[in-house]
Copies of this chain bind each other. A is one copy, B any other.
């Protein structure tokens, strides 16, 4: 059974796992003051997380640039070894990525899936490798607290108040190198495996947009919960699995309120994930001690948690199979101001210890 197979409405099961050879993460100081302190590859050495840049947007591009450098260094690859780069971010016209990746000169596919972009990139990256279109791809996303506040709400300098149910955009970026299990004719090009075992992507479930009529752009957890519920339910059905076939099911950034909404929606389909559900946004910060309101969010949130936490738990053997479901809220300043709803989307990636 080595053929890739399409399953159900939108899932694909890969005949051979697409191996996550390595990843690199970089975060701001707030992220390294939470429960994952010490787990990231690099942390900002400036209190303001400017990463040497002179604007918030350029700081986010610097984050991506550094995430690529760390990922290449850890996997002992050069930029020319990466055939395609799948990347995106939250800024208008995804400029953090455009200016972040440019100097590496890698053929580039720009993506926008809001905070689900890490899932979208891993779906397309693994599909590309499993199809034999590339022996090495990189998937990359970022977000920055200050650039996101300026993009979606108010520049920090305005000192705007935010409701307690608002999430805190993670300052961070992570890159992932994907390769086929068997490098075939080019074993010399194999990346260094950053793990003591093989960790692979064995399938994906592409999400669709779900709109439950949420109008409050601060309440992104509830806006995204229906999309997460659809993707998780579709994944279980398409792969013929129970929730218990996964050791952990991760959403991106639903927070407390959104997670409760997710449990309710899945409950209607007799699916109970509560004993194995984690939310990247609730893991990255200590919600009791850090003043981050409803938890973390952003394209960088699920990416750095995958790199710094989830993959290590899989490597350690604590989890054998994980369903990773980054969640995105689809809006911009104008759509919000014009009274449009905030729909959501979520893409599912099955990640397993494969030997």
Contacts and interface: CB of A to CB of B under 8 A. Distances in A.
A349 to B, nearest CB: 14
A9 B99 contact: no
Interface in A301-355: 330-335, 338, 340, 343, 345
A322 to B, nearest CB: 21
Nearest to A208: B107
Interface residues of A, number: 57
A98 interface: yes
A10 B93 contact: no
A207 B108 contact: yes
Contact of A340 (B99, B107, B113, B134): B99
A214 to B, nearest CB: 13
A57 to B, nearest CB: 5
A102 B333 CA distance: 19
Given A107-B9, A127-B128, A95 B208 contact: no
Contacts of A132: 4, 6, 131
Contact of A93 (B114, B120, B123, B130): B114
Interface string A186-215: 000000000000000000001111010000
Contacts of A26: none
Contacts of A343: 98-99, 102
A332 B95 contact: yes
Nearest to A10: B107
A99 to B, nearest CB: 6
A271 interface: no
Interface string A7-25: 0011010000000000000
A111 interface: yes
A123 B206 CA distance: 18
B124 A109 contact: yes
A150 to B, nearest CB: 8
Given A102-B343, A131-B131, A335-B57, A207 B107 contact: yes
A57 B338 contact: yes
Given A55-B338, A94-B112, 7 more contacts: A6-B132, A55-B334, A57-B334, A92-B333, A95-B331, A107-B206, A127-B128
21 contacts: A4-B131, A4-B132, A4-B133, A6-B132, A6-B134, A91-B334, A92-B334, A93-B331, A93-B335, A95-B340, A99-B335, A102-B343, A105-B209, A107-B208, A108-B207, A109-B120, A109-B124, A110-B113, A110-B120, A110-B345, A111-B112
